[in-house]
A and B are shown apart, each in its own frame.
Chain A
Amino acid sequence: MGLFVFLPLVLPLTAWPIARLAEQHLHPRTATRLLTGVAGVMAMCSTVCLGLVMVVGTAQLPGNPLPDGWSDPEVREAVPYDEVVGKAAIPALCAVVVACGRTLWRHGRVRRRAHRALAGLPGTQVAVLPDEVPYAYALPGGRRGRVVVTTALLDCLEPAERRALFAHERAHLAARHHRFLLAVQLAARANPFLRPLRTAVSYTTERWADEEAAQAVGSRRTVACAIGRAALVSRGTPVATLAGLAAPGPVPRRVAALLGPAPLMRSWPSVFTSVGLAAWGAAAGTAVSAMSSANSAVTMFFILYAATPL
């Protein structure tokens, strides 16, 4: 398998251009699905390869529970630089497993605690909380999820803008955006090179919900005003931590996108544009990643099978 086993660890870099370009050039729905798919496959491949390298590293350790044959020189030669890489892979894979486990556990805990907080209220889909901090979000789970919004946020919006807000949150629930967000979050934990995809997907899911809301209320301008007004009212409150550093933050970009023309629903961009090139680059990277991890897994299987005394 040679150097192939390392490819899936660095191939996520091929997805960086599309993570940057998809925001502006693809329909948010296409972008979300594409980026989440790419991130998921690449994360799995890179974890598989890390696991394969770890087997070699673990077999070198004295007193390991693996069969003795697995530490044969032939097995070690399957992985280049086995001394260093094999041992480095052990803590790396442990870190990945712990980080992913923690993410899943936290996800479950936030959901459980939020549902418990709302338990005393009537079981309507929208829960209005009397609070002077303006915030709103979609809480997945339960029969069809709930929309949580505070009176402070509702008070600062016009009736049409309130409809836009509810349509936005309902779109999150209907399209199950939390699954995309969880998938890219796990992927970013599995391979840090996938972090830009997580940032991109958390933006494109918001854009997706914005576009759905614009269709539901029939006015892109109303949705833009609702977002802008709500953002200006809630500035200074610790609602989230995603503010951009130098580039404009996600909120002005969303408003600007809504004030511009509606995105076109194309199935796949042409190769001859920069976004097409980036998308094909990411697709090729994903394919190579999948192939080399499959190739490495099969090779490793046969080497270990041959080395195991039966």
Chain B
Amino acid sequence: MAEHRQRPRRRGQGELEAQVLSVLREADGPATAGWVQERLGGDLAYTTVITILTRLLAKGAVTRERAGRSFAWTAASDQAGLAARKMRRLLDAESDREAVLASFLTGLGPDDERLLRELLEQSRSEGED
């Protein structure tokens, strides 16, 4: 009985899943199960972490991709944010991307802003007539 009390409180499944998910969200990019286990505090077995991750995968809450012999896991709700970060890194790195990415906007020159405001103002007043 005394032994029982010393063991950490048994946590509910939902609680564990939420913890794993929040750890994954903190990760900067895809993370391995070992990394998740470490961040959780180490009182969970590796296989337990894998089990939880697999259950989250079945629910669509995380995604995984092959990284060498194991998987790298990402919180699904964070996929868009991850993609945004990757895309920003790409756009910042590529100075000469015009040939590929026909972008909606190009930069504004020094006088362009004033000119643009005048044009829009004009069109607004014409629209109201």
**B120 adjacent to chain A (CB < 8 Å):** yes
- In the complex, the chain A residue whose C-beta lies closest to that of B80 is A130
**A229 adjacent to chain B (CB < 8 Å):** yes
CB within 8 Å of B: which of A165-185?
165, 168-169, 172, 177-178, 181-182, 185
**B63 adjacent to chain A (CB < 8 Å):** yes
Q: Which residues of the partner chain A approach B119 to less than 8 Å between Cβ atoms?
A: 224, 228, 252, 255-256, 259
Interface residues on A, range: 35 or more
- A114 to B109, alpha carbons, bound, how many Å? 27
- In the complex, the chain B residue whose C-beta lies closest to that of A240 is B106
Select A229's contact among B81, B94, B95, B120, beta carbons within 8 Å: B120
- In the complex, the chain A residue whose C-beta lies closest to that of B91 is A135
Task: Determine whether the beta carbon of B95 is less than 8 Å from that of A241.
Answer: yes
**B101 adjacent to chain A (CB < 8 Å):** yes
Select A103's contact among B79, B99, B122, beta carbons within 8 Å: B99
Q: Which residues of the partner chain A approach B96 to less than 8 Å between Cβ atoms?
A: 106
**B39 adjacent to chain A (CB < 8 Å):** no
Q: Which residues of the partner chain A approach B88 to less than 8 Å between Cβ atoms?
A: 131, 133
**B100 adjacent to chain A (CB < 8 Å):** yes
Task: Determine whether the beta carbon of B83 is less than 8 Å from that of A240.
Answer: no
Q: Which residues of the partner chain B approach A106 to less than 8 Å between Cβ atoms?
A: 94, 96, 99
- A209 to B92, alpha carbons, bound, how many Å? 25
- Smallest CB–CB gap between B44 and chain A, Å? 26
Select A228's contact among B101, B116, B127, beta carbons within 8 Å: B116
- A169 to B109, alpha carbons, bound, how many Å? 23
- A243 in contact with B86 given A110-B94, A259-B123 (CB within 8 Å): no
Task: Determine whether the beta carbon of A127 is less than 8 Å from that of B83.
Answer: yes
Could you say which of A22-30, A42-50, A117-125 contacts chain B? A117-125
- A270 to B117, alpha carbons, bound, how many Å? 36
**B113 adjacent to chain A (CB < 8 Å):** yes
Task: Determine whether the beta carbon of A135 is less than 8 Å from that of B116.
Answer: no
Task: Determine whether the beta carbon of B105 is less than 8 Å from that of A240.
Answer: yes
CB within 8 Å of A: which of B83-126?
83-84, 86-88, 90-92, 94-109, 111-113, 115-117, 119-120, 122-123
Task: Determine whether the beta carbon of B90 is less than 8 Å from that of A110.
Answer: yes
- A252 in contact with B87 given A110-B97, A181-B102 (CB within 8 Å): no
CB within 8 Å of A: which of B49-93?
63, 74, 79-84, 86-88, 90-92
Task: Determine whether the beta carbon of B102 is less than 8 Å from that of A231.
Answer: no
In addition to A181-B98, A221-B123, A231-B112, 4 A-B residue pairs with Cβ atoms within 8 Å of each other are A111-B100, A224-B123, A248-B111, A255-B119
